[in-house]
Amino acid sequence: MALFVFIIGLLVIGILLQKSDAPVDFAKSLNFFVIYVSLPATVLIQVPKIHLDLSVIWVIVTPWLLLPIAVYAVLVMTRHYPPDVRAALLLVVPMGNTSFLGIPLVRALLGEDAIGYVLMYDQFGSFLIVSLYGSAVVARYETGKINKGVILKKLLLFPPFVFLIFALLVGELPWQVKPYIELLSATLVPIALISVGYSLRLGGEIDYPLFTKAITIKLLAMPLIAFGILYATGTQPLALQTAVLESGMPSMITAGALAIASGFAPALSAALVGYGLILSLVTLPLFAYLMTALL
């Protein structure tokens, strides 16, 4: 509980900093540090702890199974809406904030042992999805062209993904360097959450019926479907709980930023990211509690 309160406190700090004279691109600077330092360090510490078995495979597969379900739901509920609205929801509904928010929230709700599963879900799921699928959506609705070379370069050079492959191949770090990598890893939670809070945007004129449908799919339907899939496959409890919580994370800030930058229903995109984050602070603990009771 104390860690969960700390998470909310860090988000509030980020929100309050919106009123300060923060440097230009303050959030981008924080994100850069997390992506290039904090997250790779966390990968190096946590990934070698994972016992590679069938449960890990299901954790990785889950976001890919949910993607076509989310896409189909968006296509159905936006069939009478303009293309920009459909494009916005195709970005913000399938993709969740599974690293910056996912790591601290899962750690608070399930404990340190779950972080390895978070990283597998995030890097082999969310990251690849935003790189491949997200780029394709933007290209399809903005320019009509897909630059495969740019996408491939982004995949191969993304630091956390590179370090994930390295950690899987090499395993545990030497004891001489491990304490220093742990110090760098410890910076992830405060910096990432302050960045999330600072980037939080609310308000604007939105279509509330469509917003309600989209947020229900994102925060309730997706984790429930994930639970059904993973429970039916006999996935190990901690892996199952982690993947379900990751499936129920609010919309990825990067996805919202892509939608807004491309002019895809900016108010609706910002609302799904912002209000989704707030609502997830209720739905995720509820899912964690229910799974603990059931499993």
What predicted TM-score, i.e. pTM, was given to this entire model?
A: 0.86
141 against 72, higher pLDDT: 72
Q: To the nearest whole number, what is the mean pLDDT of the chain?
A: 87
**What does the pLDDT read at residue 142?**
62
Q: How far apart are CA 198 and CA 194, in angstroms?
A: 6
54 vs 154, higher pLDDT: 54
pLDDT cut 90: percent of the chain above it: 36
* CATH class of the region 26-193+207-294: mainly alpha
What is the predicted pLDDT for the residue at 184? 92
Q: pLDDT at residue 149 above 70?
A: no
Tens of pLDDT along 236-295? 999 999 999 999 999 988 788 778 877 888 888 888 988 898 899 999 999 999 999 987
pLDDT single digits (tens) 157-181: 778 788 888 888 888 888 888 899 9
Q: Tell me how far apart the alpha carbons of residues 60 and 124 are, in angstroms, rounded to a whole number.
A: 6
User: What is the residue whose two structure tokens read 């850069």?
Assistant: 32
Domains of the chain, by residue range, sit at 26-193+207-294
More confident residue, 85 or 171: 85
User: Is residue 150's pLDDT more than 70?
Assistant: no
Of 60-74, 96-110, 154-168, 265-279, give the lowest mean pLDDT range. 154-168
Whether pLDDT at 204 is above 60: yes
